[in-house]
Structure 1
């Protein structure tokens, strides 16, 4: 089923968007997982954001479906990455950047013509991790930081063509992350002595001020479909350039007014790094006694 005449279209890598006022084109590497969405009348297409040919095929299908226009592109495909910076595997890091960063760039470049034709909107799903010292999340933080910097420049480059760019600075949101296979500490890790802290960190986003997915999606949809306001008023009305949503969003934004030290102080203690300090002091004390 395609869009009704005059109905706006939104293409999503991953799924966070549902409303009667737009026609949703949901994508996944395996479209079989989107069967429930297809039953609701959405268009479902296969898409691997790390594969150039897959992106081109999806682009062509969308162009045929919409008559050469796309009102909204939501780059929501993402990969979590929780591992100490001293334990990372570079091939694993590259895979995360392929999805979280290069996939976003590839989608924006590929669909720019359809977005320009519609004077549309790009929504890049970033994370509060981009501005937060999220302990054991250095790779994920770096990937989302790259998305925010890329989006700021993309916003200015596409402005003459009437295309808007919104960045969703997402906090803790309910997801399937807790059910996935997690990375483990390698043998000899300097964090083996606080393995419990690392393991609790793996599911931190699902147990700390976590917002349910529907609440997050409703806020995102409302802002995406809001009417335009002049630049100076966007932060309060209409479509904002930056949207804070999810658990901790308000607190993190507020803390940035006080300086970087505040987030460092809070995250260091919240994750449990003070305990590591104590463990190291005790190890040093034991060495001196020998």
Structure 2
């Protein structure tokens, strides 16, 4: 029998049809021991028949996170090489129309969820000199029309990851942030939040409805193509000179529109915001909203 230990990978949010499921499949194809998780593990039974380990994990529930950590410790002998914080919640709605309870639920999944998993799994990651991969979005870098709530959760992940990377240096645990562009998945498939009847944006409701599925219709990457590039980079290892050479990158940019967004980040923010104002058609939106307001007065 071979005594070589397989690279162990735990991925949150592996629902079929999503990025997490594709990542799990690709890591498994590379010979890793993959622990695929979901709030309802029954939907992962097909993966289990293929040799995956599956586990229940709700990143918003501390008891669930703790139980998953104990299961993982048993399955891996106490070491976890890679933790992928993929579980996420979409949120497309004008900022002014956001419901605070709904917003808090999105932050609980997208921000506090990764914080919970990292805190719980860090002993296993330290033993393995492991890697944490936080799934972010290129939308965290640009003004994303009607996506400010979601984008702000990913902006929080970006900033948290930078500090986390520094604080984990003494323990030889690395942090990679996946700046994800448009990728084919079921993430934007709904159900969608409807525009409230009293919304200030009702005169441009068609623009809002167009935005709901933007990520699936603009430069969208194939999910398996994204997964292959992601896994290539995650498995590079520690590299040399603190990971600056040949190791897993601190920032991994991949997906539709990522090159364009990266180039825009090199511009002064005021210039970038003007460019996006034109891109989103804010001039036309302003005209239509003002016309609707005049008609109500008349």
Structures share fold, TM-score greater than 0.5: yes
Could you list the runs of 5+ residues in structure 1 that have no partner in the other structure? none
Between 1:17-26 and 1:165-174, the stretch displaced more is 17-26
Aligned to 2:139: 129
Aligned to 1:82: 92
After TM superposition, list the pairs within 5 Å mapping 1:169-248 onto structure 2. 169-230=179-240, 234=244, 237-248=246-257
Aligned to 2:124: 114
Alignment partner of 1:45 is 2:44: no
Could you list the runs of 5+ residues in structure 2 that have no partner in the other structure? 14-19
CA contact (8 A) 2:58 2:64 kept: yes
Which TM-score applies when normalising by structure 1? 0.93
Structure 1 CA distance, aligned partners of 2:295 and 2:39?
Answer: 53
Alignment partner of 1:257 is 2:243: no
Aligned to 2:16: none
Cα separation, partners in 2 of 1:33 and 1:181, compared to 1, 3 Å: same
Question: How many residues get paired?
Answer: 286
Aligned to 1:32: 42
Cα separation, partners in 2 of 1:187 and 1:141, compared to 1, 3 Å: same
Secondary structure of 2:46's counterpart equals helix
Structure 1 CA distance, aligned partners of 2:62 and 2:147?
Answer: 28
Q: Deviations over 1:59-91 (max 9, x none)?
A: 001001111100000000000000001100000
CA contact (8 A) 1:197 1:272 kept: no
Give the C-alpha shift of residue 36 in structure 1. Answer: 2.3
Secondary structure of 1:32's counterpart equals helix
Cα separation, partners in 2 of 1:189 and 1:231, compared to 1, 3 Å: farther
- CA-atom RMSD, angstroms? 2.0
Structure 2 CA distance, aligned partners of 1:59 and 1:29?
Answer: 14
Which of 281, 284, 289 is residue 275 of structure 1 equivalent to? 284
Structure 1 CA distance, aligned partners of 2:242 and 2:174?
Answer: 15
Cα separation, partners in 2 of 1:93 and 1:281, compared to 1, 3 Å: closer
Structure 2 CA distance, aligned partners of 1:183 and 1:81?
Answer: 8
Runs of 4+ in 1 over 4 A off after TM superposition: 283-288
CA contact (8 A) 1:123 1:167 kept: yes
